[in-house]
Copies of this chain bind each other. A is one copy, B any other.
Amino acid sequence: MSDLSQDVGCYLIQRLYDYGVRHVFGVPGDFVLGFYQKLIESNKLKVINTCDEQGAAFAADAYARVNGLGVLCVTYCVGGLKVVNATAQAFAEKSPLVVISGAPGINERIKNPLLHHKVRDFDTQQKIFEHITIDSVLVNNPRTAAKDIDRVLTSACRYKRPVYIELPRDKISIPIYQEQYVGSSKTAKVEEGDDIDSMQEALAEATTMINSSKQPVIIAGVEIHRFGIQDKLLQLTDKTNIPVASTILSKSVISEDYPTYIGVYEGAMGHQSVREYVESSDCLILLGALMTDINFAISPTPIEQSKSIYVTAEKLSIKHHNFENVLLQDFLASLIQAPLTRKDFVVDRKQDNTRNNSNNKRFLVARNQKITVKRLFERLNFSISDNTIVIADVGDSLFGALDLTIHGQTDFLSPAFYCSMGFAVPAAIGAQLANPMLRPIVIVGDGAFQMTGMEISTISRFGLNPIIIVLNNNGYGTERPMLDGPFNDILAWNYYRIPEILGHGRGFVIQTEDQLEASLSAAEKIYSKELCILDIRLDIHDGSPALQRLTESLGKKVH
């Protein structure tokens, strides 16, 4: 229970602490300096300041994905409006990100003066954030401040979407008014009743459908992870022996070593064996999956609605009819209790190269052989352990990474639906601070690196030790097969020399397979405590097989 005899700033800090938050990401500015001072004085939440606000936002988003809630703290407009894109990504991909923005004091807003950092009206920033958050509040009333803050944080957790809290600088130190509000318990439990009758009917129908099916398959989506119900998913597959596929956005929602796991379903872009299994299934059980074009390999979607049970945190559909007020968490819990019969088939996984590569073979280095995307990922698979988390940026970093076998749960992060470039390097900061037991392996294209890669400065400053793999092919490799032009080229940087700019870390330039082997080996053994950056010199037209399939599909739509 929080100490309520405190001011607004301290109350907010305490509530975030109650939710398990230990770090706040941001860049200070005059309208938020007072709150920054409270953060330091509280000694509860560590301030991680990044180079640019965009980096802080991606870091906080990654922290949210790993920790369950992430917090970004920026100044008014010049800070807040720099993170609109990253917040939009958190909204699209259901990441519970709390955006705290300093703001001019309420008493400074009288007569609407032109204060610095102001765009149009004093509420312009809040209005913009209303489009990309699930809840927001301007904290300006001591009588409702505690309740408002609690409501917004509850919304973030209930919907797994970003929220916005605006703190006018003259309201940070006002006392919380206690009489009308006794505070909420540790993390306010949301009481939202399912509709019992709808649930019973849906459950009966789903049970019949599953029991009578010959080849059912579970597609486990990202909400399984966001709501932390992986254990229920495991119970369901254990009980029924129904195989589980993930989506590109939910890769690693369960361990990819799990016996009933068959791989990432990714339509035409994914592995043929998974595709065939899913698309010939007579009962698709879609649990918390977002039906995006990327998750389902662009289009047209091969998922047949007439064979589907589709449940998310927001809706439940069976075949072509919908049930109101029956939500993922409760439906899944009820399904485990339902009279489902155990399937006794065995899934043939021989076609799945991924698993074969990582579990059964050694990587044989071809000396002086020029490194390729395909071989790079084959080798990286051997660097993945229980103590790594793979973070893939957009583009071939992601598509190539689909072939990696992730051992743990939630040990793979990528903005695989919204697809904002530049996520991966700053995300490593958030992910590793959220779980210091994991060493991030960051896979990032050179184009994405040039956007936010200099956040390795923040990585250095806070003593983190990711291994950063830069796919260096002088441009936007994903776009080239769609439509090429000089706009897809970028300047060639000597990425491996960036540690010399920072005075921290180790850089490696890699042209051949043996150089890759030596560098990864050094990064893992000799420089295991340091940031390492591997500058992988790839052929400009090289790409993973998945990329080739994707761009063929996308390229048709460019014109």
> Which residues of A pack against B, CB within 8 Å?
28-30, 33-34, 36-37, 40, 47, 49, 51-52, 54, 77-78, 80-82, 84-85, 88-89, 91-92, 105, 108, 113-120, 124, 127-128, 131-132, 169, 172-173, 290-295, 299, 417-422, 450-452, 454, 457-458, 460-461, 476, 479, 482-483, 485-488, 490-495, 497-498, 500-504, 554, 557-559
A284 vs chain B, min Cβ distance (A): 17
The CA of A450 and the CA of B294, in the complex, are separated in Å by 33
Whether B497 pairs with A502 at a CB distance below 8 angstroms is: no
Residues of chain B with a CB closer than 8 A to A51's CB: 450-451, 490
A219 vs chain B, min Cβ distance (A): 15
Tell which of A30, A116, A290, A461 has the most Cβ of chain B within 10 Å: A116
Residues of chain B with a CB closer than 8 A to A476's CB: 28
Pull 29 A–B residue pairs with CB atoms less than 8 Å apart, ordered by A. Answer: A28-B488, A29-B479, A34-B483, A36-B487, A49-B487, A51-B450, A51-B490, A52-B451, A78-B89, A78-B420, A81-B132, A82-B85, A84-B84, A91-B119, A91-B120, A113-B291, A114-B291, A116-B294, A116-B417, A117-B418, A119-B132, A120-B132, A127-B131, A169-B558, A457-B491, A460-B491, A491-B502, A491-B504, A495-B501
Residues of chain B with a CB closer than 8 A to A37's CB: 483, 485
A52 vs chain B, min Cβ distance (A): 4
A310 vs chain B, min Cβ distance (A): 13
The CA of A501 and the CA of B291, in the complex, are separated in Å by 42
Q: Which A-B residue pairs are the 9 nearest by beta carbons?
A: A81-B85, A51-B450, A114-B292, A52-B451, A84-B84, A78-B420, A88-B119, A82-B85, A33-B483
The CA of A114 and the CA of B453, in the complex, are separated in Å by 29
The CA of A48 and the CA of B251, in the complex, are separated in Å by 36
Whether A124 pairs with B132 at a CB distance below 8 angstroms is: yes
Known: A37-B483, A494-B501. A114 touches B290 (CB 8 A): yes
Residue of B nearest to A394 (CB): B78
A37 vs chain B, min Cβ distance (A): 6
Whether B78 pairs with A417 at a CB distance below 8 angstroms is: no
A454 vs chain B, min Cβ distance (A): 6
Whether A30 pairs with B558 at a CB distance below 8 angstroms is: yes
Residues of chain B with a CB closer than 8 A to A290's CB: 114
Residues of chain B with a CB closer than 8 A to A81's CB: 84-85, 88, 132
Residue of B nearest to A118 (CB): B92
Residue of B nearest to A77 (CB): B88
The CA of A52 and the CA of B29, in the complex, are separated in Å by 22
The CA of A66 and the CA of B288, in the complex, are separated in Å by 51
Whether A418 pairs with B119 at a CB distance below 8 angstroms is: yes
